[in-house]
A and B are shown apart, each in its own frame.
Chain A
Amino acid sequence: MKPNERMKTIKLIRRIIAWGIFVLLIVSFHKPDAFHWVIKYLPKIQFGQSLAGFFSRGSMTAVLTFLTLSVLAVILGRFFCGFLCPLGAFMDFAFFVRSKIKKRPFSFSTGRPHWLIFPSLLLISFWVGYPFPFGQLEPYSLFVSGHAFLLLVMLLAIFAGRAFCAYLCPTGLALRLLAGQSLLGFKLDPATCLNCGACQKACPAFCLNVRDKSLDRGRCLVCLECATVCPNGSLRYGLASPATPNPGRRRFLRLAGAGAMAAGAYLTGENLRARTFAQPDSQPIMPPGALSLAHLNAHCTLCHTCIAVCPNGAIQPSHSGTPILTAKPFLDPYMGFCQYDCVVCGEACPTGALSPLTVEAKRLTRLGLARFDRPECVVIKNSTSCGACAELCPTGAVRMAPGPSGQDEPTLDTDYCIGCGACQKACPVRPVSAIVVTGLSIQQTAKAPRVVISEDLIPTEDFPF
């Protein structure tokens, strides 16, 4: 048996797992009903989402997942990038294309751009008010929602390997910090190495230096490309040597610099962001469990899992001109309304930006308030019977009652309105419904619907005809 046979088997297992996740995610996003369990749990094991979930503390699952993945990264290295990341699997496909069109090998790089590029992007995004490190760079979000950027990633992968993972990926940067001194990792054995350089040429993360037999575990994606090409079995995965060149002061300064940039960006960006949504008229309707616009903005990674799972197609990515709201998930009642008993989006949200709600709490969660534009109502305008809004209203906030027009017209009692948008969707008036929901920047609790326990009325006559 050749020395690298075993590594080839492990690489095959890695690919099966990563590509399995890749395929399952695509399928479940297109058939959320049939793959409910996939979409409910698979996004939650994504490191970037669990990281956001850890800071939002919106869900215990996210906190536990983050801690587990972090401990595993400290022990095993960046295995997440090789085994669990769907974008990584996507880039594997790109390598197949690369092997057909371009034979230039990879070479070693110091990997410093990561310390500069990503924090700079973070800075810019905070200033602009558009969270693109998450929306368009965090690998899972990019995989599921950044369709335009996927092409760029594909091109980048074809020409520069997993440069994305090494220099741009925010999740990768976090994992790089955790895995830099990981307990286990790949090692190049100087005693048996033939200095052929095959491993270095195969390494898509540029982390392997054959000249001084070193390997940067902070960037190694545990993709096993190096180990499978080594003709002498000199690359082994095991207890890594703790010493790496120049860790101390320089590393600390880099980290401190990146942290200072991020903090500075956050602090200076705050004012800019606050200014961008002082428009109460265009207040979007947040999905249930978002709590407040501030909470949603702080914790949503634009992964669009809620959009995929919403059974009514009510949650849509915002096309708002306001940068911070761009691509955020908001309800569009013209597309669908928020189903009264449905809590699927909160259950599926991997970051806790949407808190999981009980059905009882959901029924009273007020997302917005309906406003009735009586002159536009068909009952008034066309003098016909309608009542589509009252028909759909799950709480009884909109009811039909005799009005000044002499016929039954909609009456609105906003105490009971939960802003689900069913009335707006049902209203036949277009392009703008005669009853429209405006979102609230802080979600409220509506008054519980009236309950009158009444005995069934018994008819007096046996046959009334």
Chain B
Amino acid sequence: MDRRSFIKTLLGGAAVLGLGNVIPRGPGAPMALAQGFPDLVAVKGTDVAAMYDRALEAIGGLGRFVGKGQKVLIKPNMGWAVEPKRAANTSPELLAHIIKNAKALGAAKISVFDNTCDNWRSAYGESGLEEAANAAGAEVAPANSERYFQKVTIPGDTKLGETSYHELYLEADVIINVPVLKHHGGAKMTAALKNMMGAIWDRSDLHWGGLDRCIPELMLYKKPTLNIVEAQRVLLTNGPRGHADSKYLAANMLLASTDPVAIDSAAYRIMAESGITEPGYIAHAASIGLGQNDLSRLNVQRLTV
């Protein structure tokens, strides 16, 4: 190798290394934040489809996130083999509505899955979500076996170190996180951050390592593009499954935000009156840079339909 080619190689290598830092990490990195849109939208109403339409309109439309030919993952909560009125899973009507919206925008593939707590066939069926998603034109994928999951290293100094995400989560261009807001015996509350536990394989790692610390870490590898929290009928006690003596709050609300920490902070405010303590993972998520937990510093739009 002569000197000239050596220098060329060196320069080429440097260029590649330099570019590596410019290219956004992970395929699902959200598009550059469009200015002028609210950070968080909260819509009150009783018709979930209308609430969704209004919220998305305010936040710039789903077209801001979903483009033609993209692979879209919609991650509801469908971990429990209970009927929709128990509000332990995301509303089938809302899920179907989002799928149709993404389909209309030309998404190439829309998938839905959850690593369920109850038996997956029962949970997919009883929740009514599989039927609704299939009818709306999504692919409902299984997540009941480790073979669907791939191990990745979470960047940064984390407690988890590594975890296995569902292959559909890893390959998705756009991830729409659609949890239902509810009480949770261990983590205090389930919303956007907590819903990621259904996208990975081994949850016991998080229980072992401490939920408050580990839950936010799941978003460090790849953050959902958009979070929508359904808070129509909020399970207040004995969550996340709910029992026959559980109490509910008729909150009739839907939240939308690209910031999972902001949306969880707002979601907690909805439940706060029921006496639950604030989940420690919200503050931790803010501290590791996942988002803003101080709502006073955000542009929050409040709407009613």
Q: Which residues on A are within 8 Å of B, measured CB to CB?
A: 33, 311-312, 336, 339-342, 378, 382, 384-388, 390-396, 399-400, 408, 426-430, 449-452, 454, 456-460, 462-465
Contacts and interface: CB of A to CB of B under 8 A. Distances in A.
B193 to A, nearest CB: 14
A396 B243 contact: yes
Interface stretch (B53-61, B129-137, B181-189): B181-189
B250 interface: yes
Nearest to B214: A384
A378 B207 contact: yes
Contact of A385 (B121, B210, B249): B210
A457 B235 CA distance: 10
Contacts of A388: 186, 203-204, 207
Given A456-B233, A456-B250, A462-B44, A390 B185 contact: yes
Given A428-B205, A454-B248, 9 more contacts: A311-B119, A340-B118, A341-B122, A384-B209, A385-B188, A391-B186, A396-B245, A457-B250, A465-B265
19 contacts: A312-B119, A341-B81, A342-B122, A384-B211, A385-B186, A385-B187, A385-B210, A391-B186, A399-B238, A400-B185, A400-B186, A408-B185, A426-B207, A428-B204, A428-B208, A457-B248, A457-B250, A459-B270, A463-B44
A450 B243 CA distance: 8
Contact of A33 (B121, B243, B269, B295): B121
B interface majority secondary structure: mixed
B126 interface: yes
A464 B186 contact: no
Interface in B11-45: 42, 44
Interface residues of B, number: 49
Interface of B: 42, 44, 81, 117-119, 121-122, 126, 184-188, 203-205, 207-213, 233, 236, 238, 240-241, 243-245, 247-251, 265-266, 269-270, 272-274, 280, 295, 300, 302, 304
Contact of B210 (A341, A384, A394, A396): A384
B250 A311 contact: no
A464 B270 contact: yes
Contacts of A427: 204, 207
Contact of A394 (B185, B205, B241, B273): B241
B186 A386 contact: yes
Nearest to A400: B185
A430 B280 CA distance: 25
B208 A378 contact: yes
Contacts of B266: 465
A387 to B, nearest CB: 2
A391 B188 contact: no
